[in-house]
Structure 1
Amino acid sequence: MGVGDSVKNDLMDRRILAKYQIEALSYSLPNKSDVYYNLKHLFEQRKILLPPGLNKLREQLLGLRFERTQGGHMTKPQIKIHHEREGLHDDWADALANCCWATMRGSAVPVVGNFIPYGKIKGVVKKKEDYKNKGNYVPCSECEEYYWSNQEHECITI
């Protein structure tokens, strides 16, 4: 089970998304190279700008090192992406790269959003008690918007 598979299973087990709404990505050397090449090009074309305050993401991106590997017979060289030193993580960098990859491939639902640094905005993070007795988080069969099954839902019309 790859990294993408465990995240996919968590989303389905918690009934946040249905299987058809998820495209799992398990990293291999060739596809991780493609994912990060795409991110690199987006930065070079200034299609991505990091807003101030995302120090952890910036640190993780700057802490990555890219090493060109020799391709075998009939294969193109790949890029091995790794940390500059032990102890660094790449979770945020991978999340950004994966989001951009899915968007570029057209396999993602269009999303407009802002980065909210974890723990920076008070009142946004809900406590576990806030979700009690709300039922499951399910998609509406008519408008595909998500709602709590034990609460009233009005379809969103465009």
Structure 2
Amino acid sequence: MSLPLCIDSCQRGWRLLYILTAFHRCSEVMKPFLFKFLQDASASPGLQYQGIAKACEQNLRRTFQYGGRVEYPNNMELKAMLAGRSSKRQLFLLPGGIERHLKIKTCSVALDAIEELCYEMGLHRPEALDEYAIFVVTHRGEKQLPYVLVRNYLC
């Protein structure tokens, strides 16, 4: 076996683990061992797969916190993940016609977007987060990406 094939296999293995940690919880018995493995791999300076190990750990934490993703990735998203791209820029429309692009990752939840947008607006109190929601605006019948509109509940 040549070295490039081994490196490619390792990359694919880490990318598969990245996808699995975004969708499935491990057993309670395996949980501490998997977390320890991922923490050790992400904390080792100079380790080749340190970044993706940290991303896997974050995915697993979010999966246990929120229950994992319900919708499986479509073909395009799966191909992007296998190629090592795990985020996309999503357009958010704010009141007043203001447009903002946020980086959305595999395990991002609506609260992540609300927190980031509130922070950009200078709203740092936790109570401010409860004032906002996200609504999805799609173009029916057209093949365009959906837009996301953030509005204040009180409006």
TM-score band (shorter)? under 0.3
User: With structure 2 as the length reference, what TM-score do the two structures score?
Assistant: 0.26
Q: TM-score, normalised by structure 1?
A: 0.26
Tell me which protein shows more helix as a share of its residues.
2
